[in-house]
C-alpha cells in the first residue's frame, strides 16, 4: 500500500510524467502474478483491475455490483457534489442531458466543429516547425465544449477559462495535500475562480432568457436554467455551475487524449495515414460534387 496517506502516488505520478504510465501497472502485475492488485493512490485505498475480462466485469456492472464514486479530494474541489451520492448525481445528469447530445443529434454540430477546427489549425498549427499535440488538442476540445455547453466561441474568452481549467484538472489527479504551491491547492483555487466566473455567465444568461435575447434550450446552460426537477424546482446557480464544470472537464481531457493518440499512431504508421488521407480526400471530392450539383 506504500506510505501512509501518500501511498504509491509518487510512483504512479512519476511513471506518468516519464511517459510510461502503464509501467506502474505492469510492474505490479509481474510482482503479484495477478491482474488484480491493491494499492493506495492519491490518498485513497485502491483496487486496480486489469485485463479485458476485468474491465468487462466493471463496465457491465455499473450500479449493479459496482458503483461509481468520488474521492474526498475531488469533493473538496467540487464541494456541492457532497450533497448527494455519485449514483444519484449520475441519474440526475442523464435526465438533464437533452436530445441535443444524443448521437443522432450530434450531426448538427459537425459544421461548427469543422469551423473551429479550421480556425484552430490556422492559428496554432500551420507554419510551425514543431507542435506539441496534447496541449493543442486540449485547447481545441475545450473550445468545442465551451461552444456546446455555454455558446462561448470567442477565442480570448475560451483562453481565459482554459488556464484555470488546466490547474483544476491537474488538481483532481494529484496528492491531496492542501498547502500553498501544491497542485491540489491550485486546483481548489482554480475551482473557486471558475465557479465564480460560471455563476456570472449563468446570471447574464438568465437576464438574456428573460428578455428573449437568447434562444431557449440553445445549449446545455439554457437547458439547465429552463428545466425543473420532479418537484417543479429550478436548479440553483451554484449547482448548475458545478455540473457545467464537470461537463467541461470531460470535454477538456478525454477527447483530447483520443485526438493525441490518433495523431501519434498516424505518424508512426504511414501506410495507415495514407489510407486515412485517401478516404478523407474521397469525402471532399464527393462533397464538392454535391455542392456543384446543388448550384446547377
For the segment 226-250, what is each residue's pLDDT rounded down to a tens digit?
877 777 777 888 888 888 888 888 7
Tell whether pTM > 0.95. no
Most confident segment among 71-75, 82-86, 88-92 = 71-75
In the chain, where the domains are located: 99-265
CB 80 within 8 A of CB 192: no
Per-residue H/E/C for 23-59? HHHHHHHHHHCCCEEEEEECCEEEEEECHHHHHHHHH
Q: How many other C-beta atoms lie within 10 A of the C-beta of residue 6?
A: 16
Q: Is 233 helix (H, G, I), strand (E, B) or coil?
A: coil
The string of pLDDT tens digits covering residues 143-184 is 988 888 888 888 888 888 888 888 888 888 777 888 898 888
Q: How many other C-beta atoms lie within 10 A of the C-beta of residue 155?
A: 16
Percent of the chain past pLDDT 70, that is, above it, reads: 88
List of long-range contacts for 50-59, beta carbons under 8 Å, 24+ apart: 50/25
Q: How many other C-beta atoms lie within 10 A of the C-beta of residue 14?
A: 14
What's 99-265's CATH class?
A: mainly alpha
Amino acid at each position: 500500500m506504500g506510505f501512509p496517506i501518500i501511498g504509491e502516488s509518487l510512483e504512479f505520478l512519476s511513471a506518468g510524467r516519464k511517459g510510461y504510465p502503464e509501467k506502474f501497472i505492469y510492474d505490479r502485475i509481474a510482482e503479484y502474478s495477478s491482474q488484480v492488485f491493491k494499492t493506495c493512490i492519491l490518498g485513497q485505498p485502491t483496487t486496480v483491475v486489469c485485463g479485458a475480462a476485468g474491465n468487462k466485469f466493471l463496465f457491465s456492472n455499473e450500479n449493479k455490483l459496482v458503483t461509481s464514486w468520488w474521492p474526498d479530494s475531488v469533493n473538496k474541489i467540487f464541494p456541492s457534489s457532497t450533497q448527494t451520492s455519485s449514483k444519484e448525481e449520475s441519474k440526475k445528469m442523464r435526465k438533464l442531458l437533452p436530445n441535443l447530445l444524443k448521437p443522432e443529434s450530434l450531426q448538427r454540430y459537425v459544421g461548427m466543429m469543422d469551423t473551429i477546427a479550421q480556425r484552430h489549425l490556422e492559428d496554432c498549427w500551420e507554419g510551425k516547425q514543431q507542435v506539441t499535440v496534447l496541449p493543442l488538442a486540449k485547447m481545441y476540445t475545450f473550445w468545442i465544449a465551451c461552444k456546446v455547453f455555454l455558446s462561448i466561441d470567442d477565442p480570448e474568452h475560451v483562453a481565459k477559462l482554459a488556464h484555470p481549467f488546466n490547474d483544476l484538472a491537474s488538481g483532481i489527479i494529484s496528492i491531496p495535500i492542501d498547502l500553498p504551491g501544491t497542485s491540489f491547492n491550485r486546483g481548489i483555487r482554480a475551482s473557486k475562480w471558475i465557479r465564480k466566473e460560471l455563476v456570472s455567465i449563468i446570471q447574464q444568461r438568465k437576464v438574456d432568457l428573460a428578455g428573449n435575447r437568447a434562444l431557449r434550450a440553445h445549449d446545455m446552460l439554457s437547458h439547465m436554467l429552463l428545466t425543473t426537477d420532479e418537484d417543479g424546482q429550478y436548479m440553483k446557480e451554484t449547482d448548475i455551475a458545478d455540473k457545467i464544470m464537470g461537463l467541461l472537464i470531460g470535454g477538456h481531457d478525454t477527447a483530447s487524449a483520443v485526438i493525441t493518440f490518433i495523431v501519434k499512431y498516424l505518424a508512426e504508421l504511414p501506410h495507415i495515414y495514407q489510407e486515412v488521407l485517401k478516404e478523407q480526400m474521397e469525402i471532399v471530392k464527393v462533397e464538392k460534387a454535391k455542392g456543384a450539383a446543388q448550384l446547377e
